[in-house]
Amino acid sequence: MNNSRRVVITGIGAITPVGKSAPEFWSSVVRGRSGVDQITLFDASKLATTFAAEVQDFDPSAVIPKKDARKMDRFSQFAMVAATEAVADSALEVSDQNRDRIGVIMGSGIGGITTIEQQTKVTNEQGMDRVSPFFIPMLISNIAPGLISMKYGVRGPSQTAVSACASSNNAIGDAMRVIQHDDADVMISGGSEAPITPLAVGGFCSMRALSTRNDNPKSASRPFDKTRDGFVIGEGGGALVLEELGHARARGAKIYAEIIGYGQSSDAYHMVAPDPAGHGVKLAMTRALRDAGLQPTDVDYINAHATSTDLGDAAETQAIHAVFGDHAKRIPVSSNKSMFGHALGAAGALEGICTILTIREGIVPPTINYEHVDPTCDLDCVPNVARRHEVGVAISNSFGFGGHNAVLVFRKFSDN
């Protein structure tokens, strides 16, 4: 690996429950606006949880022709919309001279589950011979980066990371590695997810993983709060344009931040529960800092995975204490999921965008709905109101079912 190849972020795009563009998304997050409400995508009245964080009134037609959108699952539509915004934001121009050096890596934990459910209904009601010829390409998780590659005609590395809720962070970290290894100069990366379906929500309800605050959905996602009772399922897509610094400079690109570290680990503990001691999380954060060449005291902000589950938030807190020691209580640690829920495989991309903008704008987003102190989560979680805070280095945590842990380190860009 060529560590002299620095990687910077030159474009961002987002489609979320609290904003249908990256600027609108960031504005909502800073204001602490909740995107959680009753489910409208299907009748959830018979489920234990009847609410979610939906992308309301989603219309991809400005980006995707209607005839093409009909051949795409909702998760792919989210990916295309986010990627299109990110590429436009970066002012990247694809040509015959550079298309072989531009690639796409996206993440998705579940992929085309909407299509699976729809086509299962077709099979049951009309027969197996009525399944759509687009069924397979619509459901496979790797179709999102494939479609993005086709849209721009880029022929660099193209793949999908599937590691549950760590998928986006793995995708972005892997994209950074591709550039460092000199296999590409530019990578479009991030993640998308559309899991608000009867089967997916029903499955999470059966696991008792979701909050059941049906009487007040907007207060349901409450990371680190003592009364937290489960996560709020969300959806959306986020995309970043990662670029080798020399390439970005040569074309005069604006630079949001630099990505300098990536750490991975496995809990090797349980199918869905986190290791209560946070050993795997500690390893991932330690490896990310080592990769970045930093000490724990260099970190100014942590964008926490914190999903609002009892075990998960406590385990992450314990791991942060183990890695950062006395510095842990001096670091602002907030959870964006309090506002837009847990978008599973898209979470890391959306939170990565928030982390980058935190560095650029010097504003730490709040953890909303924080009302009751939990001694097992004794961190500065930036309760309820955003905070002005100069951030030079930040880390973004993502952990997934199966014990997958992926941590990214971002730094304020400097020419030095």
Q: pLDDT tens for residues 34-43? A: 999 999 999 9
38 and 50 Cβ atoms separated by less than 8 Å: yes
At residue 1, the pLDDT reads 46
Q: What share of the chain is helix, strand, coil (3-state, %, to 5)?
A: 40, 20, 40
Catalytic residue among 205, 247, 279, 342: 342
Q: How far apart are CA 342 and CA 109, in angstroms?
A: 12
Q: Is the pLDDT reported for residue 6 higher than 80?
A: yes
Q: What is the pLDDT of residues 132-188, one digit of tens each?
A: 999 999 999 999 999 999 999 999 999 999 999 999 999 999 999 999 999 999 999
- Note if 354 is an active site residue: no
Residue 2 has pLDDT above 60, yes or no: no
Class of residue 199 by CB neighbours under 10 A (exposed 0-12, middle 13-18, buried 19+): middle
- The arithmetic mean of pLDDT across residues 276-286, rounded, is 95
Q: How far apart are CA 316 and CA 333, in angstroms?
A: 11
Q: What is the pTM of this model?
A: 0.97
Percent of the chain with pLDDT over 70: 99
The pLDDT assigned to 3 comes to 64
How do residues 94-130 score in pLDDT, each as one tens digit?
999 999 999 999 999 999 999 999 999 999 999 999 9
pLDDT band at 214 (very low <50, low <70, confident <90, very high): very high
What's the burial of 360, exposed, middle or buried (CB within 10 Å: 0-12/13-18/19+)? Answer: middle
Structural contact between residues 337 and 347, judged by C-beta atoms closer than 8 angstroms: yes
What structural domains and CATH numbers belong to the chain?
Answer: 7-250 (3.40.47.10), 262-411 (3.40.47.10)
Q: Examine the residue annotation and report whether 389 is marked as an active-site residue of this protein.
A: no
Q: Is 165 a catalytic residue?
A: yes
- β partners of residue 250: none
Helix (H) or strand (E) holding 399: strand 393-400
